[in-house]
Amino acid sequence: MVQDKALQRILAVWPMVRREELPWVTADMSLADLWGAVRFDEREAVEFSGLPSGVGISAFRRAKGLKLIYPDGSVHQYAKLVLQKAVKDALSG
């Protein structure tokens, strides 16, 4: 993740992607069930990231599979730290 710029782009835009949570979501659902209970446009995340379609979809699915993004629009805490450092380094360098 530290050197994967495509993955970093997906992580950065995920909180901005529109999501619709279905009404039957409960607190005791598994992560897989939660993903199934949320409607969003995967292409929107890719478009926001500015990545080519294939690269973006692959990065999005990797982020989801690695549990770096969550159905509620949040990003794993460690992933946030990596993004913050990348931005800081880019701005100072």
Give the model confidence (pLDDT) of 4-13 as tens digits: 999 999 999 9
What span, in angstroms and rounded, lies between the C-alpha atoms of 17 and 6? Answer: 16
What is the per-residue DSSP string for 21-68?
Answer: E-TT--TT--HHHHHHTEEE-HHHHHHHHT--HHHHHHHHHHHHHTT-
Instruction: Express each pLDDT in 8-59 by its tens digit.
Output: 999 999 999 999 988 887 888 899 999 999 999 999 999 999 999 999 999 9
pLDDT at 79: 94
Coil vs helix vs strand at 82: helix
* pTM of the entire predicted model: 0.88
Closest CA to 68 of 55, 82, 57, 54: 82
Helix (H) or strand (E) holding 5: helix 5-13
